[in-house]
Structure 1
């Protein structure tokens, strides 16, 4: 009994330590965003601003066109989210519910592509998009989502689909349903949690994407929030108070989305099977 209590205490202690390691940088970001520049680097650190400088947010969002950056980011994220959810759910349905010759071989090849480093395809992809005349447009950032939706997403959904009994498909076939109707009326409703997990991952990845816009976008008017922060930092290196305020505004949507979808996130991770 004593040994189990010690293990439980050790587990809680480890969780507290890890939680503090992740929470402290976020608290530092928040307190710095409403501090005067001279207060940020005081030693020992001053955790409660005196006074609060909420005007930092207004100043940070006006020195660079954050409104345009937010609009560009929203367009890209919405398009990528739609394309990823549609293409990955359809591809996973084909790999899990439809029997066709060579299915397992093709899926194995697809899985092996996960091990391919992104840097290997970076230059060929850039040359291809530039040759097609899509450099400095949103197309290179959006179009790939409609042709695969991400290998990991397909894998995650396929494993979830395979936990759904095949009896549902057979009963639907008896009633005259086709594969499209099975996909839309049976598989998608039953896999809502897994689809929401894919949507959450996609939103966070697209919202925080820095490398893609950095490579394919050149005009300031097409910059995303990630590039806007980099521009802000480059132009106002010493204005850490304004940079922290801008960073807080950029990171808040990610936190809100996760808080709203965390129940589905945890449910999807828990229920996603690993039978193959």
Structure 2
């Protein structure tokens, strides 16, 4: 039995290492290509690190692609969307978690069904809503989903996290005279820290990597976000892939840093979600 358990763990580690290699290989070769001087021919074989590696391409990408301005626009959207998402999703999650059993099952089922709706089906209704609200060509058009919790997944994550709270904890706080906001802020939220960090990381990646919404709602180039700016850089420098790859590496750095920083809490929250 012990030998079988050791073999199973070894196989699991091998599969995990292969999976990690598959996902990390594109990032590695992006960085490798970004270090290649633009006046050198492209390699004809596998090259881990280019000869005469240089960081000049990163400066060219920032300058020629105006990536700093586009990055500032993306940071603005992220800085507003994340707190709004945490606020709305946690409120909804707490309400569902402590609703009566019948309402709780119905609301949870509704959230699960919402996760199954393809994004393409809501682009037209959301476009018409943004146009009706007069938010076209403004950052608020990109932030609008945060007013609804961004994704039903985030509401479900908070729901399952709050369901693990002791039954009498919130009731005791209410008996002590705490109102609903006080119970939410002082009692419920401090207990679900891993879920907060996991939702923050996923929300950051969602808004940082959003490419479709800026194309749909923004018309002024100065308001474009970083994914659109990177696409513009790619079209302008089709023959200088080292500069394009440098821009792609800069674009991937913030979400990678956020995910690595919150990885332990993300895994903890995922176990909470699946275990209920």
Q: What residue is the counterpart of 1:74 in the other structure?
A: 75
Match of 2:157 in 1: 156
In 1, the alpha carbon distance for the partners of 2:153 and 2:18 equals: 30
Q: Which residue of 2 aligns with 1:48?
A: 49
Give the root-mean-square deviation of aligned CA atoms.
2.0
Mapping of residues 187-202 of structure 1, within 5 Å: 187-202=188-203
Distance across 1 between alignment mates of 2:103 and 2:16: 46
Distance 2:167 2:45 in 1: 63
Structure 1: give runs of 5+ residues left out of the alignment. none
Give the paired residue count: 275
> For 1:3 and 1:106, how far apart are their aligned partners in 2?
44
1:34-183 equivalent positions in 2, closer than 5 A: 34-37=35-38, 41-99=42-100, 102-183=103-184
How many Å separate the matches in 2 of 1:82 and 1:181? 18
Structure 2 residue 218 is the aligned partner of structure 1 residue 247: no
Q: Which piece of structure 1 moves more, 78-87 or 260-269? A: 260-269
| Structure-1 separation of matches of 2:7 and 2:178 | 57
Which position in structure 2 is the counterpart of 1:205? 206
Shift of 1:103: 4.8
Listed one character per residue, the Cα deviations across residues 212-264 of structure 1 (whole Å, up to 9, x for unaligned) are 11111121100100000100111111110000111111111112112222222
Q: Tell me which residue corresponds to 1:259.
A: 260
SS at the partner of 2:50?
coil
Segments of structure 2 that go 5 or more residues without pairing to the other structure are none
Distance 1:34 1:120 in 2: 41
Label 1:101 to 1:50 Cα distance change in 2 as closer, same or farther (>3 A): closer
Change beyond 3 A, Cα 1:190–1:273:
farther
Verify the 8 A CA contact 1:84 1:149 in the aligned structure 2: yes
Tell me: CA distance 1:251–1:112, structure 2 relative to 1, closer, same or farther (3 Å): same
